[in-house]
Amino acid sequence: MNNKKIKTIFLTLAISITAGTTINHYCFAQSSTISRPAVSPAIQYTQVGALDVVSAPHKYMNKYIKIKGKFDKFSTLGLDYPPAMRASDKYISFLIQRPDVPNHNIPLSELKIFLKKEIAEKHIDLDAGDEIEFCGRIFSSALGDAWMDVDDFKVLTAKKEPKKEEKTIE
């Protein structure tokens, strides 16, 4: 190849790279200003009743909500269900008790609540009836039920204190 062809190839390559970078920068700038809403520094959660959510899950789609309730049990309910996929290797679901049945422990199975396993492992001592509060977002209404990802999980009151190990003196 002669020097003129080499110079032409390098010049074409340089122009292509510069044009591509400029186009990418322009497209990114456009997409970030047009399609993305302003991001709030902190998500605001709205306190709602669990029965309100299960009675109209579509009303709460993609909304950030906070629910107080009584813990029932950890479960595998809803895991690995393709239309609302949360993998059982990363998540565990849990149930709360129905607030409209105070004298019995009946789970509110219409509310599918998903918690990351590493968070759930910190609360393995929970018992049915312990009061909890959790915040998150309704991400699906598959099967007519509310499916919720939990962002924050708090134990408000535990029915019984965790057992302390007794030290024996030898």
- For residues 155 and 113, give the distance between their C-alpha atoms in angstroms, rounded to a whole number: 15
The pLDDT value recorded for residue 91 is: 97
- d(CA 73, CA 63) in angstroms, rounded, equals 25
Tokens of 141: 């209404």
pLDDT tens per residue across all 170 residues of the chain? 565 555 555 445 444 444 444 334 333 333 333 333 343 458 899 999 999 999 999 999 999 999 999 999 999 999 999 989 999 999 999 999 999 998 889 999 999 999 999 999 999 999 999 999 999 999 999 999 999 999 999 999 987 665 555 555 65
Q: Which helix (H) or strand (E) holds 51?
A: helix 50-55
pLDDT at residue 140 in the model? 96
C-alpha–C-alpha distance, residues 65 and 149, integer Å: 10
CA neighbor of 147 nearest in space, from 49, 66, 79, 45: 79
Residue 46 has what pLDDT? 96
pLDDT attached to residue 75? 96
User: Model pTM?
Assistant: 0.69
Paired tokens of 14: 């340089």
- 48 to 24, 60, 64, 103: CA distances (angstroms): 43, 10, 10, 22
Predicted pLDDT of residue 44: 93
Sequence ranges of the domains in the chain: 1-37, 46-157
The reported pLDDT for the residue numbered 17 is: 45
- Give 46-157's CATH code, choosing from 3.40.47.10, 1.10.1040.10, 2.40.50.140, 2.170.150.70: 2.40.50.140
Q: What one-character DSSP code corresponds to residue 103?
A: T
